[in-house]
Structure 1
């Protein structure tokens, strides 16, 4: 396998002759089987041979002993490359060396998939108010994404209480909570403040229910006023949509995949999570239908499969989708192979909006969803029909799009026979 990547026989002999040579060759084989690019192998094998030399100098002959020297090797390897390199370059080199050696031990020695060490943070207030996040997931049925929002705001609240020396939640008072809200108002926008206040209300109500707080002060936490129809949707015109689609290079594997995902969001107004959760079973080719099962509140929708969308998906399935055992529709192009996540889909939409130079606040997948809804509004469809089409749970969610129906509002304002100056 090494001869496939290293042309010079001397290079292959040097790799095989080191005491970790057989394991390095097994590692290269494992990388090829998992679809890693050749450039990854060219970058990682020299690091592994340097690790073998580093351990051999220290008379290490047992692999278990060598694994204990990973951090020492990384520090030594980085010191030899530090001269003239920026801090960011040194950080990237350190991460590359550490990940390479640990990945090597996982695949070639332990024969298991490697997962970077990411120490999960404890839930905020886990000791002072135990069971809160179990309550959110079990009793209220919140999704993991919603739980992350609760952790985000409550972790800041916990830090704030520690900073002011409020360690006893039983002594928590409204002025302390108000002080936290006032402090966060300097960092967060209006919508984030609404979420923060709502999170505090739920948390304080639960703490009172469990007897941690002597009285319920949750109702005293004021939620900032934000009127539903105060904003204008961050949609873009259809000319801008076409300009964005023109940025996709459909000659590449990634371009075929991205083009299919963009069409799904533009044509059906799908959310990033709904695109990421699509599977091969959701495509009914016999009836030309698309099933969207992972909607909000466990809803599902069936759409007629538009020819242009179907052709883009077929092009991706034939010439872009990797050969993987999973049933998910959209996958990472680079190894390790894994289904695309909600964040990856949203970042993909943001990338093409930036590439097209389209000015829009908070560009992302929801921008395309807004564009889909706005086009339906401009075409004269009833708001109830549009809401059902894009999966709005309440008609009020669709009403905001009537505000930007510029042509209709202009006719109402001007009346018959008047011209716009």
Structure 2
């Protein structure tokens, strides 16, 4: 697992773990993670206020207890920061989306994962796993992933169920039955 490669006893390890919790647990986009400010996090409410893709206003996102704990641990360990950003680099500047991509890729290498792992692939896997766990409830997954267009989310579900391949087999079998008759 990706989180196995994180040394959570270090400050940067705590940061990376908190970011991965957001990417996985809440299917956040990398720009959403990097755009967060400390003031967007409300531990007592178990909530995060986030400006989603294409949105003008921030919207509330409910957080799991493990995610709240991970972010709280990161904030407690980061000390004084001049940056308002929730996630900062070792130079105390807002973490860039490119740097988040590099961090995720590096963690994948440490974990022994040979294929390319990106923040978006974590988001995609999170949504697909949710569809597996909730019996394919696309409306629930749409709300969780904050996809405006249901058709976008349906692609995740189609890939998960391998619907195109099943349809091709069904049609091929139907032709074989006609040929036999």
TM-score scaled by length of structure 2: 0.81
Instruction: Measure, in 2, the Cα distance between the counterparts of 1:276 and 1:363.
Output: 17
Give 1:70-81 correspondences, 5 Å limit.
Answer: none
**Which of 109, 112, 119 is 1:354 aligned to?**
109
Residue number in structure 2 paired with 1:313: 71
Q: 1:382 aligns with which of 137, 142, 145?
A: 137
Question: Equivalences for 1:14-413 in 2 at 5 Å?
Answer: 243-293=1-51, 295-298=52-55, 300-319=58-77, 321-333=78-90, 335=91, 337-360=92-115, 362-379=116-133, 380-406=135-161
Q: Cα distance, 1:357 vs. partner?
A: 2.4
SS where residue 312 of structure 1 aligns? helix
| Counterparts of 2:72 and 2:42, CA distance in 1 | 12
CA distance in 2 between counterparts of 1:273 and 1:318 reads 23
User: In structure 1, how many angstroms separate the alpha carbons of the residues matched to 2:38 and 2:142?
Assistant: 26
**Conserved in 2, the CA contact under 8 Å of 1:268 and 1:390?**
yes
* Structure of higher RCO (CA pairs closer than 8 Å, 6+ residues apart): 2
Paired residue secondary structure (1:323): coil
1:330-362 CA distance string (max 9 Å, x none): 1112x3x211111111211111112222243x4
If you compute each CA radius of gyration, which structure gives the higher value, 1 or 2? 1
Report the 3-state secondary structure (helix = DSSP H, G, I; strand = E; otherwise coil) of the residue aligned with 2:54: helix
Please give the alpha-carbon distance, in whole angstroms, between the structure 2 residues aligned to 1:401 and 1:359: 23
Shift of residue 410, structure 1, vs aligned partner: 10
Alpha carbons 1:322, 1:331 under 8 Å: kept: no
Inter-partner Cα distance in structure 2 for 1:409 and 1:376: 20
Does structure 1 retain, via aligned residues, the 8 Å contact 2:136–2:157? no
Structure 1 unmatched ranges of 5 or more = 1-242, 415-421
Alpha-carbon spacing, 1:404–1:274, altered in 2? closer, same or farther (3 Å):
same
Deviation at 1:260, TM superposition (A): 0.4
CA 1:297 to 1:409, structure 2 compared with 1: closer, same or farther past 3 Å? closer
TM-score of the pair, normalised by structure 1: 0.37
SS of the counterpart of 2:49?
Answer: strand
Q: Assess if the C-alpha contact under 8 Å between 2:43 and 2:72 holds in 1.
A: no
In 2, Cα distance between the equivalents of 1:395 and 1:271? 17
| Cα deviation code 1:206-228 (max 9, x no counterpart) | xxxxxxxxxxxxxxxxxxxxxxx
Alpha carbons 2:28, 2:145 under 8 Å: kept: yes
Aligned length: 167
RMSD over aligned Cα atoms: 2.5
